[in-house]
Amino acid sequence: MMIATSSIMVSALSPVPGGDGRAVQSGNPSIKVGSLWWMPTVVISGNDPKGRRPLVVVQEVRYGLVQVITRTSDVNVQGVLHPADDSLGLNKPGVFSIRYLRSVEERYFNGGTAEYMGALGDPYLQQVIEMWES
């Protein structure tokens, strides 16, 4: 399995060269598979009791949308268990669950709405990607 870690900069209306017909746009170079962000929950879920949640990008920008999986500190949820990691602003153990797969508009990653924290490392990223692809 290959995971693309670089993005092609083209217009949102232009097909990707080599062509499977997908359109890709990426105005923010940090929106890459494995990048970890804190995002206000009003953007990702209208009924979340938390003010913001960490999320990991599982698919780069397509048609102005980014596929992400949010992380919960409820370790009883089925998914990829991830330990606390202060370097990423995660002070509690948590779980990335396919149950929390979301599409987020690219514009929310710009202009201060989201906070970029770094990259989710392996083996956790690989496990999240495998869960998402299955």
Which pLDDT value is given to residue 45? 81
User: What b/e string do you get for 64-97 counting C-beta neighbours within 10 Å, with b at 16 or more?
Assistant: eebbbbbbbeeeebebbebeebeebebeeebbbb
88-116, pLDDT tens digit by residue?
999 999 999 999 999 999 999 987 899 99
Class of domain 35-125: mainly beta
Which pLDDT value is given to residue 47? 81
Q: Provide the whole-model pTM.
A: 0.77
Q: What residues does each domain of the chain span? A: 35-125
Where is pLDDT greater, at 14 or 131?
A: 131
51-84, pLDDT tens digit by residue?
999 999 999 999 999 999 999 999 999 999 999 9
Closest listed residue to residue 74, CA positions, set 96, 47, 44, 54: 96
Give CA–CA dist 19/129, Å, rounded. Answer: 23
Instruction: Identify the band that residue 131 occupies on the pLDDT scale cut at 50, 70 and 90.
Output: very high
